[in-house]
Chain A
Amino acid sequence: MNPERWQRLLDDATAISGVRGAIVVSAEDGLVVHEAAVEGLETSDVAALASVVVRRAESIATASGDSQVRLCTLTAENGTVIAAQGEHGLWLVAVTEPDVELGRLRLMLGVLAPALG
């Protein structure tokens, strides 16, 4: 658990054009662990809602006989919430504008999230 390292990870994620902000979330209780550059968003809301969606996604995977969820992406007309699984129940969550470089972001989060622990 290293807040300085989390900050560097979040800075990398928010450096991508179209990313409004990024937070480290404890998925089990939906709490914000660390945050960066979240414009116009209540980070506590993002954490709570993202963790609920992640848990629901995990339920679908379990019911379908699939392995654990690594990446969960909720796309809506005005933006995207993308969550990547890290260690110790932590998830790296980013909220984006609709025109974000999603391909680059999902790859980056997939690489960064395992380093959360």
Chain B
Amino acid sequence: MSDHSSPQQSPSFLDLGERLRQRGQLEAALSVAQAGATRYPTFAAVHDLIGRILADQGDDEGARSAWLATLECDATHPGALKGLAFLAFRRRDFGDAERYLEAAAAASPRDTSILTALDRVRSMRPANAPEAINIEDPVAGLLLLDNQGLRLAGGLGSGQDEQMADAAAATAAGAAREAERAARLLGLGAWQHLMIEGDSMRTALLPVAPQAMLLLRRPPTAPVGRLLAFASRAVQAARTWLGNS
């Protein structure tokens, strides 16, 4: 039995929809794309196309939903990440725009247009304007968890679903216990953070309170010093969140 949720090759409706979009025939383009999405609901490119059409129509909320749907199909889809960055830029949320572009740069490190956009967004942000912290936003790359490994709020970032966030929380609690134990037994005192660096991501785990910790996840292009400075502010925000919950 064949799988009809995603086509084997780039289908003609995708080209047709894109041509109509470029000609400014947005309603027709949307109709074609939505028909394609109905037939191939897990095909990332068609949701990306819908996102671009809706963004052209000025429907930012609809475009955002379409691009988030794209990331559910393909967590590192550069078009969707760039689209979400564009929407953030349009609402002058330069921190969010930078975060999405960093993720896009990690997915497509040779795409100079992304790096150029990243430079532009960074230059737009006022020198002293700190990145906004939203503990409850699942795409903010901030995951608050309790010491039993249960997720309290947040998520791993764009393209990572709740199941992955729950799995990360479950493993992070054990890692925090071992970090605390290692620091104590080696005579290093209280642990402050555990930084994990790989080719695709930088992750920091920090204690927030005796019963809670925070996992912060950023692309590998994120400067380590800035990541830790942000993490320090995020811990304060998490403590406030815990106090209010």
Residues in A lying within 8 Å of B, measured CB to CB:
41, 45-46, 49-50, 52-53, 56-57, 59-81, 95, 103, 106
By the criterion CB–CB under 8 Å, are B199 and A63 in contact?
no
Is B178 interfacial (CB 8 A cutoff)? yes
B182 adjacent to A52 (CB under 8 Å): yes
Q: Which residues does B use to contact A, with CB under 8 Å?
A: 75, 156, 160, 164, 167-168, 170-172, 174-175, 178-179, 181-183, 185-201, 203, 205, 215, 217, 224-225
Chain A residues positioned under 8 Å from B164 (CB to CB): 63-65
Q: In the complex, how many angstroms separate the beta carbon of B172 from the nearest chain A beta carbon? A: 5
Task: Point out the residue from B168, B186, B190, B198 that lies within 8 Å of A45, measured CB to CB.
Answer: B186
Nearest to B196 among chain A residues (CB) is: A57
12 contacts across the A-B interface (CB closer than 8 A): A53-B182, A57-B196, A64-B164, A66-B198, A67-B198, A67-B201, A68-B199, A69-B198, A75-B195, A76-B192, A77-B189, A78-B188
Cβ A56 vs Cβ B201 within 8 A: no
CB pair B198 A77 closer than 8 Å: no
A61→B196 contact, CB < 8 A: yes
Q: Is the CB of B194 within 8 A of A57?
A: yes
Complex CA–CA separation, A53 to B172 (angstroms): 11
Closest to B184 in A: A76
Closest residue of chain A to B167, judged by CB? Answer: A63
B residues near A46, Cβ cutoff 8 Å: 186
Known A60-B168, A66-B201, A74-B183; contact A53-B178, beta-carbon cutoff 8 A: yes
| Residue numbers in A under 8 Å from B199 (CB-CB) | 67-68, 70
Q: Which residue of A has the minimal Cβ distance to B192?
A: A75
Chain A at the B interface: mostly helix, strand, loop or mixed?
mixed
What B residues does A66 contact at CB under 8 A?
Answer: 198, 200-201, 203
Distance of B107 from chain A, by nearest CB (Å): 12
**Knowing that A53-B178, A59-B174 are A-B contacts, what are 8 other residue pairs whose CB atoms are under 8 Å apart, sorted by A's residue number?**
A52-B178, A56-B174, A62-B171, A65-B160, A70-B197, A74-B183, A74-B194, A78-B188
Complex-state Cα separation, A8 to B195, whole angstroms: 26
B185 touches A81 (CB 8 A): no
Give the 4 A-B CB pairs with smallest separation, nearest first.
Answer: A56-B175, A76-B188, A76-B183, A77-B189
Q: Find the residue from B167, B183, B185, B199 having the highest chain A CB count within 10 A.
A: B183
CA distance A52 to B172 in the complex (A): 13
Chain B contacts for A56, CB-based, 8 A? 171, 174-175, 178-179
Question: Separation in Å of the A93 CB from the closest CB of chain B?
Answer: 11
Q: How far is the CA of A22 from the CA of B80 in the complex (A)?
A: 44
Q: B193 contacts which chain A residues (CB < 8 A)?
A: 73-75
B197 touches A77 (CB 8 A): no
Chain A residues with CB under 8 Å of B168's CB are 60, 63-64
Verify A49–B185 contact, CB threshold 8 A: yes
- Nearest A residue to B190 by beta-carbon distance? A77
B191 x A76 contact (CB < 8 A) = yes
